[in-house]
Amino acid sequence: MKKKFLTYTLPRPFFKYNIPIAIQSCYLRDYAKKNGLSFSLPITEIVKKNSYFMFKKFFLKKKINIILTSIFMLPIDNTKLIKKILKDVHPDSSFHFALENLKLKKKNILEWQKNYILINRLSTDYKKLNLNNFLKKITNAN
């Protein structure tokens, strides 16, 4: 018997992408099939920005297994909001993030989020990098 998994889709943009619900559903069904998981029709979030009403309604307090299209459907850039959303999620709930091929528990999501923010702070925004000044500094140093 396959383990029961719920699926969750987001009808609004996330991480600068706006993936239609039908495409998200197909991708989640395919992910479930490839990984030997059961597939259920997705629970779709409300369109309003930063709303996680359906997530809270269906996934809090009970141990669940859920497949999301991407970890970036969660408010990864907002530590307060992600902690608020995950606060009442059962610690043994299992989250699969299909696009990133991640399988995480609640505490691992928060750890992943901290690492993501740290790496983002360390990364250079190449649009701000002035190559002419950089090249002048290198040639003057020699």
Tens digits of per-residue pLDDT, 16-26?
888 999 999 99
* Residue 50 placed within a domain: yes
Report the alpha-carbon distance of residue 32 to residue 134 in Å, rounded.
48
* Residue 77 placed within a domain: yes
* Residue 127 placed within a domain: yes
16 backbone φψ class: left, alpha, beta (φ>0; ψ -120 to 50):
left
* Residue 1 placed within a domain: no
Domain housing 89: 6-141
**Residue 94's pLDDT is what?**
92
The CATH number for 10's domain is 3.40.50
Give the total number of structural domains in the chain: 1
* Residue 17 placed within a domain: yes
10, 12, 13, 15 alpha-carbon torsion, rounded to 10°: -40
**Residue 2's pLDDT is what?**
64
pLDDT per residue over 39-63, tens digit each?
888 989 988 888 888 888 888 778 8
* Residue 98 placed within a domain: yes
What is the reported pTM?
0.79
